Amino acid sequence: MNNRPQILVVEDESHLAVGIKYNLEAEGYEVKTVGDGPTALKTLEDDAYQVDLVILDIMLPGMSGYAVCETIRDAGNDVPVLLLSARTLAEDRTRGFDAGANQYLTKPFDLDELLSRVNNLLKIHLQNRGKPQVSSVVEYSFGKSQINFETYEVTVADQPVRLTKQEMKLLRYFIDNESRVVPRSELLEKIWGMPGYINTRAPDQFIRRLRKMFEPDPAKPVHFLTIRDAGYRFVANPESAAEDSLQESPDAS
């Protein structure tokens, strides 16, 4: 039985695909390369081939890497996805994360950085494989919001709101950790599958979007708080939190 992690490389530039495959195999991984999105999706559906990581180029013929990633996530597959792209704009990275990617690496990339990211993504994925989901929350409400995590239906003040899977994943993590200060590094590891030390604006961008959707006044958040030099905290009931704070500090002026 083969216990080596299996990586699927989706890249239409054959010379680049061959180079990536060669270097990953030198690290002890088993690698399969395909040149288009539909073939990649078919490979992922094949039970005989257990994919532990997908390295996915964005610019593919016929079906973009964004569309491939979205299809993977819509099928309920949580395999780590590392996007490769020559695009360097922040909105391109944001679109990749919205599609469900774990990491985004810009071409041309340094080989050592690619190998480091692959190693970290696989480490986290293989550690979490088979672990049951801790959260049992299906429906949740706070403020004027109603969320159903099973159907992905969200309303704010009785108006439907559309969240991406990544936004829902972040929201659920905050709800599961209500009132606890969650370090930025923890969000990177748990939500994006990145090492906690990586410098990226992804958490800030996503939290800004949650504030825009759920806060009465996004400029003065009461639910999704930034705790300076510590991380972020979700507060479902700001009034109760304020009362508890006063009870704990009766002499506060």
Residues 97, 166, 204, 111: is their CA dihedral positive or negative? negative
The answer as to whether 68 is a domain residue is yes
Spatial contact of 137 and 171, defined as CB atoms under 8 Å apart: no
Tokens of 37: 């999105």
Q: How far apart are the first and last CA of the chain?
A: 67
pTM over 0.75: no
CATH number, domain containing residue 160: 1.10.10.10
Query: What is the pLDDT at residue 102?
Result: 86
Please tell me whether residues 121 and 19 are part of one structural domain.
yes
Please tell me whether residues 156 and 115 are part of one structural domain.
no
Domain final residue, candidates 85, 108, 128: 128
Question: What's the domain range around 240?
Answer: 139-248
Tokens of 182: 């969650």
Please tell me whether residues 11 and 45 are part of one structural domain.
yes
Highest mean pLDDT pick, 54-63, 117-126, 237-246: 54-63
C-alpha span between 213 and 19 (Å, rounded): 43
Residue found under tokens 């002890």: 28
The answer as to whether 134 is a domain residue is no
Q: Is the pLDDT of residue 124 over 90?
A: no
Please tell me whether residues 175 and 122 are part of one structural domain.
no
Please tell me whether residues 146 and 108 are part of one structural domain.
no
Q: Tens digits of per-residue pLDDT, 2-30?
A: 678 899 999 999 999 999 999 999 999 99
Please tell me whether residues 144 and 124 are part of one structural domain.
no
Is the model more confident about 134 or about 213? 213
Please tell me whether residues 31 and 143 are part of one structural domain.
no
Please tell me whether residues 108 and 191 are part of one structural domain.
no
Please tell me whether residues 121 and 15 are part of one structural domain.
yes
CATH number, domain containing residue 72: 3.40.50.2300
Least confident of 9-13, 86-90, 133-137: 133-137
Q: Tens digits of per-residue pLDDT, 29-44?
A: 999 999 999 999 999 9
Please tell me whether residues 123 and 12 are part of one structural domain.
yes
Strand 103-106 with 153-156, pairing: unpaired
Residue found under tokens 């400029």: 219
Q: Tens digits of per-residue pLDDT, 70-81?
A: 898 877 788 889
Tokens of 140: 């949740």
The answer as to whether 1 is a domain residue is no
The answer as to whether 253 is a domain residue is no
Strand 145-148 with 139-142, pairing: antiparallel
**Domain count along the chain:** 2
C-alpha span between 244 and 45 (Å, rounded): 51
